[in-house]
């Protein structure tokens, strides 16, 4: 029976949402799903993965060096498991993008990056030119190494059964690379790629201080706060706020773009959102062409008014 | 220390691309081409390493048709010392590019290879990591800061949710992310000087690399267009629509 190996993204405590999206994509490829959890002290993550619908087996590789796995070590581990699988799948997050091309190169096969659809077990669609074209490609390789665009596939949900967990050899450390540290932003709000609603600001916000207007709005909606590249380059907000081709690709249920003109690079990162609202003083701004609802006017009047209206309406529920 | 930088010729990032009517690809005839923006950042970083005394020579490599010489000239005008052009008119996938670069590395023996993290045409984000794996070298992908030591490099990497810092043994492969630096513009005197810098030409055959593609592109289409454009009159109307029509809040 064909099978897919999904390499899970996690923080040793919980699975990242990206993994559940990748599992859904792997299920569409038609085989049994094996999930690799490589980490340190991460049995709880294996238990979580074992409960997801469609998972046939969880492979648990634990070693101190895998707490922050180096691309070199993770790739070696995946390659060692590759032989018995038809598809090697990981999320197209910075996690998967980092080590998966190594896996493909070591197996001497192509990688199919950032797939947005599975057409057949060997045929996939992927966005190119920042999402301005969609390529449908067929792989001639015996093993398909694939990264998955999370926003294009729904999350795998916990199912009724529990897959077996098998402990495997974590392999040798290559010693080529050492982890020195991480500075992860402490967010009081949901993470951009996981948020159901996103409120984003652009150059029109004029200053970082004015993002407080958006934060207030976000807190009423349980939303994440994002930004366009223009706002990041202007120094209004840190770069992990950035939504777009060179930032994060998001597809929330509701995306509210405030003072964002809608450059191609920004649209590439958010145009798959279910509902888009645009607030901009320039009625010719390209953002309105993709927005389901547009409000033309001064954001410094509209946003406080919207904030007040939301406070009133949401309080009544 | 010798530094190798790889540069790709792509459709200029300001061009609005058009999908061909026969769905075979994207229109490239009579379209402005430039160096991949992430590769410009890679070249700039190499030049800064040389200006700071850490690098002694910068070799810019490009793979593709004859016109790639222009892309190499751009790198030379920015400050690279010499170029290598691997001439082929066939499309090359990242795996083939990585194999060709590996062959160039074998001949040149650099201590560091810097590439853009991703080309803005195929958006693959593979070549640097593949090259690193084929060489058996460590990688520092998506670098936003690079510091060279005697036998190690410290790389700060852009990851989802923040930054990660790693130390990699040299020789190593580093891929440049957007915020590594801001590339310079070549000055006119430097553009003139670049015309005299040497570009060595090679072929995949001479390098002993099979570049046959592994993927078949069945079709290239335009993405589904959104039906946008509706404008509302007031925030009250917007909140009403979001609650009842769209049902997202």
The per-residue pLDDT for B224 is 86
pLDDT higher than threshold 80 for residue A151:
yes
CA nearest B210 in A: which residue?
A: A108
Average pLDDT rounded to a whole number, residues A266-274: 93
How many degrees, rounded to 5, is the angle at CA B100 between CA B99 and CA B102? 65
Chain A hits for B212, Cβ within 8 Å: none
pLDDT higher than threshold 80 for residue B138:
yes
User: What tokens were used for A306?
Assistant: 């919207």
The verdict on whether omega for the bond into residue A10 sits within 30 degrees of 0, i.e. cis, is no
Cβ A270 vs Cβ A291: under 8 Å: no
Rg of chain A over Cα atoms, rounded to whole angstroms, equals: 21
Rg of chain B over Cα atoms, rounded to whole angstroms, equals: 21
Put simply, the answer to whether B248 touches A305 (Cβ < 8 Å) is no
Residue B180 is given by DSSP the state G
CA nearest B14 in A: which residue?
A: A264
Residue among A94, A129, A174 minimizing CB distance to B121: A129
Query: CB within 8 A of A226, min separation 6: which ones?
Result: A192, A198, A199, A200, A201, A241, A242, A243, A248, A250
Put simply, the answer to whether B166 touches A180 (Cβ < 8 Å) is yes
List pLDDT tens digits, range A119-141.
999 999 999 998 899 999 999 99
Dihedrals phi, psi of A38, to nearest 5 degrees: -110, 125
Q: Please give the Cα distance from A253 to B199 (Å, whole number).
A: 52
Put simply, the answer to whether A102 touches B139 (Cβ < 8 Å) is yes
Q: Please give the Cα distance from A257 to A193 (Å, whole number).
A: 16
Residue B178, min C-alpha distance to chain A (Å): 7
List pLDDT tens digits, range A164-186.
999 999 999 999 999 999 998 77
Put simply, the answer to whether B160 touches A193 (Cβ < 8 Å) is yes
The per-residue pLDDT for A265 is 86
Q: Which residues are B152's β-sheet partners?
A: B169
Chain A hits for B246, Cβ within 8 Å: 254, 274-275, 292-293
Average pLDDT rounded to a whole number, residues B162-178: 96
Residue among A94, A123, A135 minimizing CB distance to B158: A94
The per-residue pLDDT for B226 is 85
Residue among A71, A138, A296 minimizing CB distance to B216: A138
Chain A hits for B31, Cβ within 8 Å: none
User: What tokens were used for A64?
Assistant: 């101190």
CA nearest B238 in A: which residue?
A: A293
Other beta carbons less than 10 A from residue A72's beta carbon: 23
A316: pLDDT confidence band, cut at 50, 70 and 90? confident
Put simply, the answer to whether B249 touches A176 (Cβ < 8 Å) is no
Residue A47, min C-alpha distance to chain B (Å): 24
| Exposure string for A158-168, b = 16+ CB within 10 A, e = fewer | eeeeebebeeb
* A-contacting residues in B 32-91 (Cβ below 8 Å): none
Put simply, the answer to whether A291 touches B228 (Cβ < 8 Å) is yes
A240: pLDDT confidence band, cut at 50, 70 and 90? confident
Helical ranges in chain B per DSSP H: 37-51, 68-78, 94-108, 127-135, 188-194, 204-207, 235-240
Q: Is the ipTM beyond the 0.90 threshold?
A: yes
CA distances from B98 to A135, A137, B84, B94 (A): 22, 20, 15, 6
Q: Please give the Cα distance from B211 to B132 (Å, whole number).
A: 18
List pLDDT tens digits, range B73-109.
999 999 999 999 999 999 999 999 999 999 999 999 9
- Could you tell me how many CB contacts below 8 A there are between chain A and chain B? 247
């Amino acid at each position: 029976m064909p099978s897919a190996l999904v390499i899970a993204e996690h923080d040793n405590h919980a699975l990242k949402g990206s993994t559940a999206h990748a599992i859904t994509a792997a299920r569409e490829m038609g085989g049994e799903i094996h999930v690799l959890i490589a980490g340190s002290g991460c049995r709880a993550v294996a238990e979580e993965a074992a409960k997801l619908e469609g998972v046939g087996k969880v492979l648990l590789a634990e070693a101190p060096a895998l707490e922050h796995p180096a691309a070199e070590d993770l790739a070696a581990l995946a390659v060692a498991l590759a032989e018995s699988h038809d598809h090697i799948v990981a999320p197209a997050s910075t996690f998967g993008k980092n080590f998966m091309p190594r896996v493909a190169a070591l197996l001497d096969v192509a990688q199919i990056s950032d797939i947005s659809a599975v057409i057949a077990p060997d045929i996939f669609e992927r966005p190119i030119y920042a999402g301005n074209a969609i390529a449908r490609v067929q792989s001639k390789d015996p093993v398909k190494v694939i990264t998955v665009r999370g926003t294009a596939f729904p999350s795998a949900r916990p199912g009724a059964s529990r897959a077996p967990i098998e402990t495997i050899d974590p392999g040798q450390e290559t010693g080529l690379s050492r982890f020195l540290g991480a500075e992860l932003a402490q967010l009081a709000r949901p993470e951009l790629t996981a948020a159901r609603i996103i409120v984003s600001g652009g150059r029109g916000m004029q200053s970082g201080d004015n993002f407080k207007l958006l934060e207030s709005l976000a807190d009423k909606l349980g939303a994440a706060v994002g930004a366009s590249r223009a706002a990041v380059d202007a120094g209004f907000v840190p770069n992990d706020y950035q939504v777009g081709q060179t930032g994060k690709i998001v597809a929330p249920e509701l995306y509210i773009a405030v003072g964002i003109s809608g450059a191609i690079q920004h649209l590439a990162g958010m145009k798959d959102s279910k509902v888009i609202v645009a607030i901009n003083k320039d009625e010719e701004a390209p953002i309105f062409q993709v927005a389901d609802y547009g409000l033309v006017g001064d954001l410094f009047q509209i946003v406080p008014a919207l904030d007040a209206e939301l406070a009133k309406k949401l309080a009544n529920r | 220390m010798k530094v190798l930088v790889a540069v790709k010729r792509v459709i200029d990032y300001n061009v609005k691309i058009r999908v061909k009517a026969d769905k075979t690809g994207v229109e490239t005839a009579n379209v402005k081409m430039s160096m991949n923006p992430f590769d410009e950042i890679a070249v700039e970083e190499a030049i800064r390493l040389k200006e700071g005394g850490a690098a002694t020579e910068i070799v810019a490599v490009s793979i593709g048709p004859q016109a790639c010489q222009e892309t190499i000239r751009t790198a030379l005008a920015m400050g690279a010392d010499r170029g290598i052009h691997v001439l082929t008119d066939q499309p090359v996938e990242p795996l083939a590019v990585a194999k060709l670069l590996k062959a160039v590395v074998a001949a040149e023996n650099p201590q560091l290879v810097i590439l853009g993290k991703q080309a803005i045409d195929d958006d693959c984000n593979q070549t640097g990591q593949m090259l690193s794996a084929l060489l058996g070298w460590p990688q520092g992908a998506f670098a936003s800061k690079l510091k060279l030591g005697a036998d190690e490099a410290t790389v700060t990497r852009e990851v989802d949710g923040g930054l990660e810092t790693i130390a990699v043994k040299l020789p190593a492969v580093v891929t440049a992310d957007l915020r590594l630096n801001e590339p310079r513009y070549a000055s006119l005197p430097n553009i003139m000087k670049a015309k005299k810098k040497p570009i060595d030409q090679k072929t995949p055959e001479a390098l002993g690399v099979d570049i046959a593609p592994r993927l078949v592109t069945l079709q290239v289409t335009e993405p589904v267009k959104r039906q946008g454009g509706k404008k509302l009159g007031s925030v009250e109307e917007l909140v009403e629509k979001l609650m009842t029509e769209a049902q997202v809040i």
